[in-house]
Chain A
Amino acid sequence: MIIEDNALLRVEGLRKWFPVKKLLFTIGYVKAVDGVSFSIRKGYTLGVVGESGCGKSTLARAIIRLIEPDEGKIFFDGKNVLKLKGKELLGFRRRVQIVFQDPYGSLNPRMTIYDILKEPIETHRIDIGMDVEDYIVSLLERVGLRKEHLYRYPHEFSGGQRQRIAIARALALKPEMLILDEPTSALDVSVQAQILNMLKRFQKEDKLTYLFITHDLGVVRYVSHYIAVMYLGKIVEYGPTEEIFNNPLHPYTKMLLSAIPVPDPKQARQRKKEKPIGEPPSPINPPPGCRFHPRCIYRIDKCNKEEPELVEVEKKHYTVCWLYSRK
C-alpha cells in the first residue's frame, strides 16, 4: 500500500462528495475526493498534481478539516484527526499550517502585518521565549522582509511579498507540516523561484513536512520527493518524483507529461508527443469504470466497466490501471 506506518501524516480512504441540488432534490454528487490514500514521512514533500477539478484543493482543505470529510481516516503523528475536538483540534491545527494560492485573498486588508502575524501567536498562546515584536521581526527577516514593513498593510506589498507574509504567518506557530495549495501559481516566474527556494530552505532547517499542491509539473519536480497524480477525485499514480518523470505508468500521467510546454525550443519540437484527447470531464457523476477511459488511447474492454485496483509496479511506484493489473 501507499501508506507507510511510520509516516507523519496518513490518509486512508478519504472521501468528500458535494451534493448537487436542484430545488429540494439532490440530483448528483461532485465526487471531489473519492477514496484517496497516501502517507508522508517527516521531512519529506509529497507533490499532488492534477488539472482543475481533480480535487486537489478539496483534499488539502479536508486534511486540516476546513471541510469535513464524509468518510476515511486521517492520522497525524498517530492520532486520528477526524476524532479531535476542542483543545486537541486546536493543537493539531497549530502543528499543521496552510498557505493558499491567492496572497490577496488570504491576508486581511484591514490588519497591519504586525497584527496579522500576532493573531495566531495569541490564539494558540505558544511559548516564543521572547518579546512578541522581536519574534515577529525575526519571522519577517526569515522570509526576506524587514522591520520597517511591520506596520504596513497588505495592499502596500507586491504579490510575492504578500506570499512571504502568508508563509511567515504559517511559520509563526512553529508547525511541523505545511500544506501548500498552489503557493506560487499567482506569482511571476522570477518571484516564484524565490519562494520555492525559500520553502526548500525552511524544510531543511526545520525538518518540515510539505504537502505541495500544484498544477505546474516543473515546480512539482523541483520541490517534491514523492508525487501523487490526481484525476477526478482519485490518485491514479504515486511514486518517487524521478520515477514518475522518467517512467510514467498511468496513461493520464503520460498524457500530462507530453502536454506540458517545455522551456527549451529544441526539446519542445523534437520530443515525441502524444496528442491529448478531450478535456477533463465534469466531476459530477464521473465516467464509470476507470474515470480516465474516455480519454485513454490504451483503453481495453473492461476499462469502462470495472474500476482498476492499485498495483505496485516498481518499488514504491503505484498506479491504478488495468494495463498493469495482474488479474
Chain B
Amino acid sequence: MSELLRVEDLRVYFYTYAGVVKAVDGVSFTVRKGEVFSIVGETGCGKSVTARAITKLIKPPGRIVGGRVLFEGRDLLKLSEKEIRRIRGKDIAYIYQDPSSSLDPLYTSGYQIAETITVHNPGTKLKNALKKAIEILRDVAIPDPVKRARNYPHELSGGMKQRVVIGISVSNKPKLIIADEPTTSLDVTVQAQVLDLLQELRKKYGTTIMLITHNLGVVAEVSDRVMVMYAGKVVEIADVYTLFTNPLHPYTRGLLSAVPNPLEKIDEIKPIPGFVPDMINIPRGCRFRPRCSYATQRCLREPPLIEVEPGHLVSCWMYTGGDE
C-alpha cells in the first residue's frame, strides 16, 4: 500500500500562563492509502491535538512549532490559510465526538451537506447540491432521506446526527477522514452501527480513515494499524494483531491488561500504577518512567522510536539491543 500521509517530528506546544504544555512533542508516523489507522491513548496524550494539527486547526495559545505534514507529498504546514481551507473538508474531512456541536442548529441537515459541496465545487447550484445531499443521506443509511434532509439537528437522534456529520465528511469524497472519538458519545448499539457505516463507506469510496479513540475495543474492531501515544509521544506503532498479541511497550501492555474484555470471564485486571503526568512538569527521559515497573537508570534519557520487526516500532530502552 502506498503512503497517503506522512507526519514527521510534529511539535505542538501550548503557551499557557502556567508554563509551556508540550502536547505533541516529536510525533512521526505514516498513514497508508485505504487503511484504518488508529491513534489510541488516554486523556491528554496528544492524540486529538495531533489530528487537528494535520490541517493546522490549532488555536492560540497553541502553536505548531515544528515538523512536517506531508499529504500526497505536499507539506500542509507550509500552506496559507486560504490554501489549506481548500483541502479541509475536501481532501481531508473531520468527524468529531459530539455531533450536536458539529452541526449548526439553524440549518437543515440537507443544507449543511449541500453547503459543503458548493463551497468546494464552485459553480455547483445549491439546488443540485441539495439533491446530492439526499443521495448522501441515503448512503449513510438514514431512513426516509427526503424527509430527513429537511430536518433540523434537534429533530434528529444522536445516532442520526452523527450520520449526518459523516454525510458531511464524505460529501466531497475525501481521501482522508479523520474521525476523532466518533462514537464516544453514542450508545453501544448505535456505536456498532456507526462503526459499520464507516467501514462500508471506506469500501465504497476507498477513503483512508484515521481514527482517534481511547476505546481499545473500538480499535480492535476496525483498525488495520495502531499508534499508541503517551504524554505527547509515540510509544508504539504496529498492525492491530501484533499490537494486541505482542505488545512491547510497558504502557501498551499495561493498557491492554487494564481493560476488562466483556466476552471473557475476568478474574483480575491489572491497573497501571500512578497517573498520567502533569504536562507542564513532564518527567525527564522516558515519560512513562515513573509508572513503569521496568524502569532503570537509562530511562532517564529519552528512548528513540526504533523498528524492532518490520512495521513494529517501539520507543523503549528494553528493545534497543544495546547495554545500559
Q: Which residues from chain A sit less than 8 Å from chain B, CB to CB?
A: 51-52, 158-161, 188-194, 196-197, 215-219, 221-222, 242, 245, 255-269, 271, 273, 275-276, 279-280
Contacts and interface: CB of A to CB of B under 8 A. Distances in A.
Nearest to B193: A276
Which are the 6 A-B pairs with shortest beta-carbon distances?
A261-B217, A193-B271, A218-B260, A276-B189, A259-B192, A190-B272
A104 B193 CA distance: 31
A190 B216 CA distance: 12
A242 B262 CA distance: 11
B121 interface: no
Contacts of B268: 197
Contacts of A197: 268-269, 271
B272 to A, nearest CB: 4
Contact of A215 (B188, B196, B260): B188
Which bracket fits the contact residues of B?
35 or more
A161 B274 CA distance: 10
Contacts of B193: 275-276
B159 A279 contact: yes
A260 B258 CA distance: 17
A250 to B, nearest CB: 14
Contacts of A276: 189-190, 192-193
A70 to B, nearest CB: 26
B131 interface: no
21 contacts: A52-B187, A158-B276, A188-B42, A188-B214, A190-B276, A192-B258, A221-B260, A245-B262, A260-B217, A261-B188, A261-B192, A261-B218, A263-B219, A263-B256, A264-B261, A264-B263, A268-B217, A268-B221, A275-B193, A279-B187, A280-B189
Interface in B233-261: 240-241, 244, 254-256, 258-261
Contacts of B218: 261
Given A191-B271, A191-B275, A218 B262 contact: yes
A163 to B, nearest CB: 11
Given A189-B214, A193-B269, A280-B189, A257 B275 contact: no
Contact of A262 (B263, B266, B269): B263
Contact of A263 (B158, B188, B259, B276): B259
Interface string B207-232: 00000001111111101000000000
B271 A194 contact: yes
Contact of A188 (B43, B190, B217, B266): B43
Given A189-B214, A265-B244, A219 B187 contact: no
B260 A279 contact: no
Contacts of A262: 217, 220-221, 261-263
A189 B255 contact: yes
Contacts of A193: 258-259, 269-272
Nearest to A255: B189
B192 A267 contact: no
Nearest to B218: A261
A271 to B, nearest CB: 7
Contact of A221 (B42, B158, B223, B262): B262
A133 B217 CA distance: 43
A192 B214 CA distance: 13
A276 B195 CA distance: 12
A193 B258 CA distance: 6
Given A161-B275, A192-B258, A221-B266, A215 B42 contact: no
B166 to A, nearest CB: 15
B265 A242 contact: yes
B124 interface: no
Contact of A158 (B196, B266, B275): B275
Kindly name the residue among A51, A262, A280 whose own CB sees the greatest number of chain B CB atoms within 10 A.
A262
B157 A190 contact: no
B266 A189 contact: no
